[in-house]
Amino acid sequence: MRAERTAARLAELVELWEAGGLRLEVAGTFPLERAADAHRMVGTGHVRGTVVLAP
């Protein structure tokens, strides 16, 4: 199932975030040089949350 991607929906999500009603779970943060490690982590299918690549 995919969420609808529209400007209106994005505005709703921003409003929810600003009100403190949206929580994001980060499963891991990797430097860009370790993108392959991040990809392997996601590929396991056992990741709960978002995997972030940082500069």
pLDDT at 1 over 60: no
The reported pLDDT for the residue numbered 24 is 85
- Residue-wise pLDDT for 2-50, tens only, equals 677 899 999 998 999 899 998 889 999 999 999 999 999 999 988 999 9
Specify if 54 maps to a domain: yes
Range of the domain at 36: 24-55
Specify if 19 maps to a domain: no
- What does the H/E/C string look like for 16-29? HHHCCCCCCCEEEE
Reported as type and span, the H/E element at residue 26 is strand 26-31
Select from 51, 24, 55 the least CA-distant residue to 37: 51
Instruction: Tell me the whole-structure pTM to 2 decimals.
Output: 0.61
Specify if 11 maps to a domain: no
Specify if 42 maps to a domain: yes
